[in-house]
Amino acid sequence: MIIIGAGGHAHAVIALWRALGVEPLGLLADDGPAEVMGLRRLGTPARAGEWRAQGVARACIAIGDNAARARLGAALAAQGFALPAAVHPSAVVMDGARIGDGCVVMPRAVLGAQAMLGPFCILNTAAVLEHEGSAGEAAHIAIGAMLAGGVRVGARALIGAGAAVLPGVAIGDDAVVGAGTVVLRDVAAGARVAGVPARELGGRSGQADVHGVRSDHAAVSVDGRQSQLE
């Protein structure tokens, strides 16, 4: 198992794998510290194929930026890496729930009955995606967010810390919901909303500086290097 990323989210992911009894071999990141939680940085993500050739079979993309996580996940899958999901032992996964490859489900998160996480999602600490809810590829439901039954979250969308989303609401692809926001109605793709009740902010998501985990973006820059991975 090799971890891709060396920023804030990587710390949580390393701790998650250790809670599951898996000690990762090391990290691949473009920059950042030489060591994170005792794991050495072994090179850049562009060199992942060399580690695959040496027999490293599994990888986990531990990058907070949703679009980057989706791109790198696809690239590593194409190189033959297995990208298993990780579910913390304290998380609750109810009957009929499904979890895609590369997802991380953090401590005390709840995935309700028949809810679905697409590949590379983050269901973060103490977040709830209730019954029949769904999250598209590489969505991030941040710490303590409460998504009621039947909420649909689009691909690469970010639901900020402590947000609340009413039953059946749809959040579009690449949308950003600010921390603590209460979402009463559907949110359009790419929109950024915040406040109680949710109101649209100016600008498009981009998400590069909205996660509050800025070190992730310094740790792994994939643009321009992606071709080496694909």
With CB under 6 A as the contact rule, which of the stretches 53-61, 74-82, 207-215, 222-230 interacts with ligand COA?
207-215
Q: Cβ of residue 167: shortest distance to ligand COA, in angstroms?
A: 21
Given 96, 168, 195, 206, the residue binding ligand COA (CB under 6 A): 195
Instruction: Tell me which amino acid residue 80 is.
Output: G
Cβ–Cβ < 8 Å for 43, 27: no
Among the listed residues 131, 140, 211, 217, the single catalytic one is 131
By CB under 6 A, tell whether 119 contacts ligand COA: no
By CB under 6 A, tell whether 66 contacts ligand COA: no
By CB under 6 A, tell whether 211 contacts ligand COA: yes
Q: Cβ of residue 201: shortest distance to ligand COA, in angstroms?
A: 5
By CB under 6 A, tell whether 124 contacts ligand COA: yes
Question: Structure tokens of 188?
Answer: 């359009």
Spatial CB neighbours of 112, under 8 Å, sequence gap ≥ 6: 94, 97, 128, 129, 130, 131, 132, 133, 149
Cα separation, 192 vs 201, in Å, equals 5
Distance (Å) of CA 12 to CA 181, 196, 223: 24, 29, 24
Question: Structure tokens of 42?
Answer: 């072994």
By CB under 6 A, tell whether 179 contacts ligand COA: yes
User: Which residue, 71 or 211, is less far from ligand COA as judged by CB?
Assistant: 211
Q: Cβ of residue 225: shortest distance to ligand COA, in angstroms?
A: 25
Beta pairing class for 199-200 and 192-194: antiparallel
User: Which residue, 152 or 211, is less far from ligand COA as judged by CB?
Assistant: 211
Burial label for 227, CB within 10 Å (0-12, 13-18, 19+), is: exposed
Provide the binding-site residues for ligand COA, judged by CB under 6 A: 124, 142-143, 160-161, 176, 178-181, 192, 194-195, 201, 210-212
